[in-house]
Each structure stands twice: as C-alpha cells, then as structure tokens.
Amino acid sequence: MDMQKLFSLEGRVALVTGGAYGIGFAMAEALASAGAKIAFNCRSQEHLDKALVDYAARGVDARGYIADVTDENQVKDLIAKIERDLGGVDILFNNAGIIRRIPMTEMSAEEFRQVVDIDLVGPFICAKAVIPGMIARGHGKIINICSMMSELGRETVSAYAAAKGGLKMLTRNICSEYGAANIQCNAIGPGYIATPQTAPLRERQADGSRHPFDQFIIAKTPAGRWGDPEDLAGPAVFLASDASNFVNGHVLYVDGGILAYIGKQP
C-alpha cells in the first residue's frame, strides 16, 4: 500500500470557510501541503487582502472570496466561482464560526440566533451547496469544526454549545444520508488552541503567574499545554484524504485529553 498516495490531496479542491486566520488558516495550509488547491472565504475585503498576503508568505497559492456563509444565495455564487476558477469542491471544511460569552439570562434571542446561524445554519447551507457536485463526481469529504462544547456545557456559552452540539448531529446525519454516495462527513473537535484570539488568556500576570483561565486549562489538560494550530494539521489531512474513506459520522477530538480527564485534585 502506498501510504503517501493514501494521504495525498493532489488535484483535490478544498474550500475552508472562514479560512483567513487562526484555525482555518492552519488547516488550509496543511491541506495545501498535501497537494490540495485552496479556496477560502471571509466577509470583508480587508481580511481577505491580509489573508492573501499571509498565505503567499507561507508559500500557499490560495484563492479568496467574499461570502457570508449564512446567506444561501451568496454561498451558491461562491461555489460556482470556485468551480469556475479551480474546479468542483472535493473537500469542504466548515470552519467559519463565532462565540458570544454572555450569561444565558442576559443574552438576547437575537444574539443567540446569530451564533446558531453562523455556527450551525452556515455549515448546513455550505454542505447543501457542495453535496450535489460531490454526488456527481462520486466522492466528497465534509469536515465540520465542532468543539468540546459539542459534549460539555460551560458558563456563558449557551448559544455556542447549542450550535456545536447541533453540528455534531448534523455531521452524523450527513453521513447517514449521503454515505452511500461515497461522501464522508466527519468533524474535528479542537481543544483549547493557542491563537491570537486566545493570547490575552495566556498572558502572564504582573506577578509572573499564569492567567487564571490559563491555569484552569493547563490543570484540565493531561498534555499540560494549550494546543497549537499545527496540532490540527494531521487530523485535517487524514479526514480530507482517502485514508479516511471508511470513517464516517465521527468527531475526532484534538484536545490533549481534556474529555478523558476529570482534572487535577486541588
């Protein structure tokens, strides 16, 4: 068996939603390193322009597009443009998402709906847009970005946990509906990842001690550290490649062992 060929994405077209920075950027870079042609979207020209510069600096030839994943017509246009520029989408990474940390009784229904719309309805819209083409080509990979909040609750993240729990079940249902069409739909559940967005939570305090949330995460993680975006590269390539052709409806948690661990005794 040719293992390099098994994990190769040569000639495949991958769309990473919200791939302008952070986890999405890291996964797109990983897919490109395995041979995939990369497309990504974001909602502002400013973020798109910066991302194109960042991709070029890392040696990745990526195509960027302006599109809102919650707008069905914009997503249809996005897929049509990618097909015109690169070919049909073989791999969809539903990465675009937001979180609002607001106590439930203080959160408005509008704020709740916004999180669910982006984090759950958006992946539904994007998957719905690419599945017909995948069926026509006889193969396809859909990878949703779930979360430990797909399994656990936590203060102030009611909307996010509801959306990510729903995304876990959407993952399983896409598998159930389209597995016979040789479409594999799986998910990655990142743990706490060291990105620019989480940097304030990892800053040392004035007395040199860890930030309280940093202490909490380290104590809850058997690996004893935050994850790096690069820790998601191997799982991303695995789930996007032929190596995972009989893996379907699965959530692969990349969390340093948090979900397996009750935490250190105080």
Digit-coded pLDDT (tens) for 96-116: 999 999 999 999 999 999 999
Cα Dmax for the chain: 61
- Return d(Cα 203, Cα 3) in angstroms, integer: 41
Distances (CA, A) of 84 to 13, 43, 79: 12, 20, 9
Residue from 21, 55, 160, 253 carrying the catalytic annotation: 160
Low pLDDT (below 70) residues in the chain: 266
Helix 158-178 to helix 109-116 angle, to the nearest 10 degrees?
Answer: 30
To the query of whether residue 160 is one of the catalytic residues in this protein, the response is yes
Helix 158-178 to helix 122-137 angle, to the nearest 10 degrees?
Answer: 20
Q: How many residues does the chain have?
A: 266
pTM above 0.75, yes or no: yes
Classify 95 as helix, strand or coil. Answer: coil
* Predicted local distance difference test score (pLDDT) of residue 183: 98
Q: Which amino acid, residue 177? A: E
* Predicted local distance difference test score (pLDDT) of residue 162: 98
Beta strand 140-145 pairing with 183-190: parallel
What does the buried/exposed string (b/e) look like for 203-232 if buried means 16 or more CB atoms within 10 Å of the residue's CB? Answer: eeeeeeebeeebeebbebbeeeebbebebb
